[in-house]
Amino acid sequence: MNPVDMAELGCLNGGVVAISGRRSSSAVVLPSEDVDTGSIHLGATTRLNVCSRVGDGVTVKVRKKVHTLNRVVFAPVGKVVEMSNLQDLVGPNLNGRFIGKGDHITFPSPNGGVLELQAEKVGGVFSMGSGGLIGPETDVEVLGRMARRPLLDTGDVSFADIGGLDDVIKQIQEVAVVPLLHPQIFLRGGKPPIRGVLLDGEPGTGKSLLARALARETQATFHAVSAPEIVGGCVGSAEEALRDLFQNAKEEEPSVIFIDEIDSIAPDRYSSSEMSRRIVAQLLTLLDGIGDRGQVIVIGATNRLDSIDPAVNRSGRFERVIECPVPNRDARLEILEIHTRGMPLTEGVDLGEIADLTVGFVGADIDHLCREGVYRAAERTYGFDRLLDIDEIGAASLTIEHVDMLEAFSLVRPSIKRRYIKEIEEVDFDSIIGQDRAKAVLEEKLLNPLRFPELYEAAGLSIGSGVLMHGPPGTGKTALARAVANVAGAQFLSVKGPELLSMWQGESERAVRTLLDKARKMAPCVVFFDEFDSLGMDRGHVGPGNSGLASVVNQLLTELDGIDSRDGVLVIAATNRRDLIDTAFLREGRLGSQVEVGLPERREYWQIIDRHLGDAPRSPKLDLRPFSDSLPDGMSGADLAGIGKRVRELSVRRHLETNPEGKASGFMIRQEDVDAASEGALVSVGMETWT
């Protein structure tokens, strides 16, 4: 409440007020200058307890005498909660809250989501059934059955429990909440409101949560069904299930129907079976409003929008398509704050750093990360053997530290990129010897736009560019691409050209579209095409038996051309056969920057070998320079890495000759091991071959 209104009521900060709408309840009040005078801000659960919606009038009175309850009995709403320590969890979360008989309460669940309970019995010496505050000594009991008479069986989350989707929530409130709360606006306007919303987005971005939150915010009944549950059985059963779903929603209006994976029951009729066509026809009839649907909002969710029949998206059916995007850095921080609010984090946990690291993570991935953090904290605190012991452990000592979250991050992979998952070595430009020209080009074209986005925006330059690295095999092209991803703090999608090619007509083009679409959603993202000559082959050299390759080249040219914005997508291609690549790729706007990654200079040989010897112990007399001077010209970085590996193998062999038991004590690389490695040094490319 506004402090002015609180002063007029004589209400103190933290006091209890009685609120009367279509039902009466009480709540603890807090001051806020953001609230207009004459108004009161209520959470979704409190609005449910007073049976009022946003914009309704309520009566507010100060409760002079508030007593502490001796006992409260709760029952779960919607579904029975199976948690052994549920009662111990509920009590601390409700300390200081006012509870009346029949009131609903919600709080974060340790398993994710929200727990909703209804108070069936409240007891106190002076409460007389009117409710009271829950204190440290209040006996809290949770029944093992569902609540018998809940105020409303609706969604179990509110918009406040969803992070990183503010723009999406605003769109849903506009097209779905307003018509349910104020239908008189559309009666006056003479036009029916939008009754169908299609949510499109990658798995885990929050589509189901949004539908459940919509039902709760509007105090509507929630009717959820997964499309594959409808399909199957005898002929006509799917159509009957759809009719029953809409009929039940109509009888319990206002209501929200949520159809998950709607592409399963509404596929394109031109490429589907006869049964699928009948189901689509039935769904279209129900959506068409041949009979008045009343206050029923239909929400469909899919991550395959292109697979849905075009008739589903027309006006009168699903009029509004809303995309649930992959969260950016600020959105990830907001999601992290929501998912960790019930976790015992130490002060050293830096959620901002976690948000920076989790590029490409969706909400479900962040939830997975937080759960993994609990596992890592438990193992660090108690030890793995203790966790397997049947004896009870003191969970009160469990705290989650920053190192636990970092270790959890190393175990979780973004679901959006699991098909293209690659382990990236922690490398940067300093770990790559030489190649100064290639580093300078990558720095200018790819890294600076990400480091200084405001400067590039002022100059009218987009954050998205393409670089082609060409040169002999084994010169470090892949290592440079990995370094770009690490330095930029971006996701890294590595694809070898042949991986996208398929024997089936059209599948290769689909794979190219899917790859670049995922990259856009994960931006900033580095897409690395290795062996690019196999994918971007010159169309003039494509033979009659491989005509499908020309279509793949055309599709890739279109994706790189900027028809769709590539902001934040950094494309790097590598090849050792530049002459085979279609010249259309080499113009500005696609792979406009070409840089040669050549063979290392002789003066760099010893540094590369030294780098590939790693942290192995060495003799103080070890000198790599005379040895590197004796090596032949034209060696690639891979050749020199092989020599480094050969030196270590010879060192191990020599050590085993004098220490057959294999103990590491006394092991070191000696000069004789290095000199012996020169006998097997081979040149894989050679200056003459490449030039």
What residues make up the domain containing 660?
Answer: 602-684
| Contact (Cβ atoms closer than 8 angstroms) between residue 256 and residue 297 | yes
User: Pick the residue with more confidence: 63 or 499?
Assistant: 63
Find all residues with CB under 8 Å of 29, minimum gap 6, and list them: 1, 6, 11, 13, 14, 15, 16, 17
Tell me: do 45 and 165 sit in the same domain.
no
For residues 115 and 198, state if they share a domain. no
> Does 690 fall in a domain?
no
Tell me, yes or no, whether 371 lies in a domain. Answer: yes
Tens of pLDDT along 624-678?
Answer: 888 877 787 788 888 888 888 888 888 888 888 888 887 888 888 888 877 777 6
Sign of torsion over alpha carbons 53, 54, 60, 62: positive
CATH number at residue 539: 3.40.50.300
Residues 339 and 319 in one domain: no
68 in Cβ contact with 124 (< 8 Å): yes
Same domain (yes/no): 357, 500:
no
How many domains are there within the chain?
6
Q: Give a yes or no: residue 415 inside a domain.
A: no
Same domain, 127 and 267: no
Query: Hey, what are 101's tokens?
Result: 């008989």
Q: Are residues 230 and 351 in the same domain?
A: no
Is 422 contained in some domain?
Answer: no
For the chain, the average pLDDT equals: 79
The answer to whether the beta carbons of residues 623 and 497 sit under 8 Å apart is: no
Q: Is residue 190 part of a domain?
A: yes
Task: Kindly state whether residues 546 and 437 are assigned to the same domain.
Answer: yes
Q: What angle do CA 231, 234, 235 make, to 5 degrees?
A: 85
Q: Is 85's pLDDT higher than 80? A: no
Q: Each residue of 579-637: pLDDT tens digit?
A: 888 888 888 778 878 888 888 888 888 888 888 888 888 888 888 888 877 787 788 88
Same-domain status, 440 and 317: no
pLDDT in tens, 294-313: 678 888 888 888 888 888 87
Question: Is residue 285 a part of any domain in this protein?
Answer: yes
Domain at 41, CATH number: 2.40.40.20
> Parallel, antiparallel, or unpaired for β 221-226 and 255-260?
parallel
Q: Give Cα separations from 352 to 328, 355, 394 (angstroms).
A: 12, 5, 30
If asked whether residues 315 and 253 sit together in one domain, one would say yes
Region 210-229: mean pLDDT is 77
Question: What pLDDT score does 680 carry?
Answer: 56
Give the model's confidence band at 691: pLDDT under 50 very low, under 70 low, under 90 confident, else very high: very low
Per-residue pLDDT band at 92 (split at 50, 70, 90): low
Residue 152 lies in a domain: no
Domain limit, last residue, from 323, 341, 373 = 323
Count the Cβ atoms, other than its own, within 10 Å of residue 599: 23
Instruction: Map tokens 């009729």 to a residue.
Output: 269
The rounded distance, in Å, linking the Cα atoms of 73 and 549 is 68
| Mean pLDDT, range 347-376, rounded to an integer | 88
CATH number at residue 72: 3.10.330.10
Q: Give domain status of residue 530, yes or no.
A: yes
At 629, list the tokens: 């001077």
535 plus 675 within the same structural domain: no
Rounded Cα distance between 653 and 36, Å, is: 81
Average pLDDT over residues 367-388: 86
pLDDT level of residue 688 (50, 70, 90 thresholds): very low
292 versus 396: which is more confidently predicted? 396
- The domain boundary, picked from 596, 626, 641, lies at 596
Say whether both 405 and 436 belong to one domain.
Answer: no
Sign of CA dihedral 633, 635, 639, 643: positive
Burial class (CB in 10 A: 0-12, 13-18, 19+), 302: buried
For residues 164 and 170, what is the distance between their CA atoms, to the nearest angstrom?
12
Q: CATH code at 672?
A: 1.10.8.60
Backbone φ and ψ for 60, nearest 5 degrees, come out as -120, 130
Domain edge (last residue) among 577, 596, 615: 596
Residue 690 has pLDDT above 50, yes or no: no
Instruction: Give one DSSP letter per residue of 302-366, joined into a string.
Output: ES-GGGB-GGGGSTTSS-EEEEEPPP-HHHHHHHHHHHTTTS-B-TT--HHHHHHH-TT--HHHH
The pLDDT value recorded for residue 405 is 92
Is residue 340 located within the same domain as residue 439?
no
Tokens at residue 505, please? Answer: 């007509």
